[in-house]
Structure 1
Amino acid sequence: MARTTPPRPVNMAEVFPELAGMTRTTTRLHPRRGAPTVEQSSIGGPLLWPTEEPWPHCHDCHHNKYRFAPELTSLHEVRAARGLATGEPCPLSAADLETLRRSREGVPVAEHALSPMPLLPVAQLYATEIPDLVCPPGVDLLQVLWCPFDHEDDYTPNVWLYWRRAADIEQVLLEPPEPALVVDEEFVPHPCVLNPERIIEFPPSHLIPQNLAERIREWEQERHMDYDDDLSIPPGWKVGGWESMWTFGDPIQLGCEQCGADVEPLLMMEGGNFTSSWRAVEDNAELGEVPDPESHPGVRIGRDYTLQIYCCGRDRRHPCVTAMQ
């Protein structure tokens, strides 16, 4: 089912003509729970992963950097609670069972930190379906995976990008490795199909020239409107366009960690805002004023913040940069 963003209450380019030259297109993904296949764009769905390519693992330390001892849970328990478990659970190793027991007693567990952690699929995006997905030359598919543990740099999952040419994949890995344990079920996306919609957006206020930003703030106060929340960047999951707002700290200048080039917004993910003014017209028609978080991926970053994934502006194959905003 198509999803449509409601018209904005004000056309900001008419009120502030300077903004007309600062618009960008972005593709809202509108994920909704379903049963995606490897041939579809998805959130939390199966990947078109070649059998001959090893499944990636995170080799970072997962526990001894914590300021507190996280309580772990098994991935099978998460899926069973959601009604998504298939077949019998793979038996946990003795080490994993001991790790699970100790974590539930509040004991920091250093042993598990040494084990390479299989990554979890987060998103699969086909360029033919996502108009604002800009791919490196010769590829048409982006796969996003992460390690379902907080990491010390900004207490978010570590993210990996894989760019592919879908036609090159002849045999698909049907049963990829999975982590036995996860630190937070909100890092395990529900499988979702996508309903891409291309819209036009305006830059967040921190990227607007100061004198224009001040004029917009004065206008907001007079009109009782909120530019950042309702008139610039949509919440939720989107590809391309402008970066998300910085909600709990000052903006940080980011660059590619491999070559130092400027980075560009690639993928934004946010779990909340089910009743915001950006809610799809079709959702309002189906549900009225009742929020329906159960129809979404179930991913939550920090205290309902946004995870913005950036890619290198010089070479998108370089490792990505992430920021909790």
Structure 2
Amino acid sequence: MPRPPMDLSGLLPEYTALARETTLLNPAPGDPGPGDSSMGGPLLWPAAEPWPHCAREGHWTYADDGRSLEEITPGRTPMVPVLQLYARDVPQPAFPTGTDVLQLVWCALHHDDNEDGPMIPQLHWRNEAEVIAAGTLTDIPRATDFTHPEDLMPTPSTLTPTPDIDYPGFDLPYDLQQTWEKRLHGVNGLGTWSFEDGCAIATKAGGYPAWTQPPNWPTCVCARRMEHLLTITGDIQLGDCGGFYVFLCRHCPDTPYAYRYDCH
């Protein structure tokens, strides 16, 4: 992630005060196991909990010819593993009390009637020791009955979590950005760095959303703006799907979550 070529704390203390801790996940194609933090890898799933399937009407994929569309019978398709994070590997953000595993799955089909994006996700928080003690699911259905959109099928990847500092990109108000740019005008050593460079456009946990379109933060039913939890970017792991963002509310007891999507 591009960094300011000089310390801005003295010049713009208001900007540096906006810093948030993030963990860059750095996925790379590999062979992860259920005991690993991974993207697109096998999950540590409780044996007593059925694997989720998507029962939405009207979801579709491309037919075998790769051009025409094929509508999928509701309930036919299992969801696919997208991300698994162990708290031991990811220092930020904090996990809810009593949990140390975060899991994200979604339906890897298109859903035109879903205003928040083409995919339908589910987020799960688990306790590793409790899942292992009760037994894990070994016969996990695979979504291979038809041609899934490649952009929504994560490549199995290992992660190299790296702590970093994130700043707002598109979340920085334009008028404030202009004001600060005037204060930095003529300062030697800044080069071509801009405020948008302060936000890591990467698959990450915590920090700020790596929006590629105007920000669209969800608001919880408790009327608070939700906290950014995950950004998953379109890259070698997800083709050109754009950006997928997961948010949560820590103020509500059931830790509700929401998601957003924007395209490149």
What TM-score, normalized by structure 1, do the two folds share?
Answer: 0.69
Stretches of structure 2 that go unaligned for 5 or more consecutive residues are none
Deviation of 1:300 after TM superposition, in Å, equals 3.1
> Does the Cα contact within 8 Å between 1:163 and 1:317 map onto a contact in 2?
no
Q: Name the residue aligned to 2:230.
A: 267
Q: Name the residue aligned to 1:151.
A: 111
Question: By percentage of residues, which structure has more helix?
Answer: 1
Q: Distance in 2 between matches of 1:133 and 1:309?
A: 12
Q: Distance in 1 between matches of 2:148 and 2:99?
A: 33
State the one-letter code of the partner of 2:246. Answer: I
Stretches of structure 1 that go unaligned for 5 or more consecutive residues are 65-69, 73-99, 273-295
Q: Name the residue aligned to 1:164.
A: 126
Question: By percentage of residues, which structure has more strand?
Answer: 2
> Does the Cα contact within 8 Å between 2:23 and 2:162 map onto a contact in 1?
yes
Q: Distance in 1 between matches of 2:9 and 2:136?
A: 47
Q: Name the residue aligned to 1:71.
A: 62
State the one-letter code of the partner of 2:160. Answer: N
Which of residues 283, 302, 306 in structure 1 aligns to 2:243? Answer: 306
Q: Distance in 2 between matches of 1:221 and 1:56?
A: 54
> Does the Cα contact within 8 Å between 1:148 and 1:182 map onto a contact in 2?
no
Q: Distance in 2 between matches of 1:6 and 1:109?
A: 43
Aligned ranges 1:196-215 → 2 under 5 Å:
196-208=161-173, 211-215=175-179
Aligned ranges 1:22-37 → 2 under 5 Å:
22-37=18-33
How many residues align structurally?
254
Q: Name the residue aligned to 1:322.
A: 260
Q: Distance in 1 between matches of 2:58 and 2:148?
A: 9
1:21 aligned onto 2:17: yes
State the one-letter code of the partner of 2:164. Answer: I
Q: Name the residue aligned to 1:119.
A: 79
Secondary structure of the corresponding residue to residue 169 of structure 1: helix
Secondary structure of the corresponding residue to residue 214 of structure 1: helix
What TM-score, normalized by structure 2, do the two folds share?
Answer: 0.84
Deviation of 1:7 after TM superposition, in Å, equals 5.3
Q: Distance in 1 between matches of 2:74 and 2:28?
A: 36
Change in CA separation of 1:207 and 1:300 when aligned onto 2, cut-off 3 Å: same
Deviation of 1:229 after TM superposition, in Å, equals 4.1
The superposition leaves residues 251-282 of structure 1 with CA deviations (integer Å, 9 ceiling, x where unpaired) of: 334213x554321111101134xxxxxxxxxx
RMSD across aligned C-alpha pairs, in angstroms?
Answer: 2.6
Change in CA separation of 1:184 and 1:168 when aligned onto 2, cut-off 3 Å: same
Deviation of 1:178 after TM superposition, in Å, equals 2.1
> Does the Cα contact within 8 Å between 1:160 and 1:320 map onto a contact in 2?
no
Q: Distance in 2 between matches of 1:129 and 1:105?
A: 41
Which of residues 24, 47, 57 in structure 1 aligns to 2:43? Answer: 47
Deviation of 1:10 after TM superposition, in Å, equals 3.4
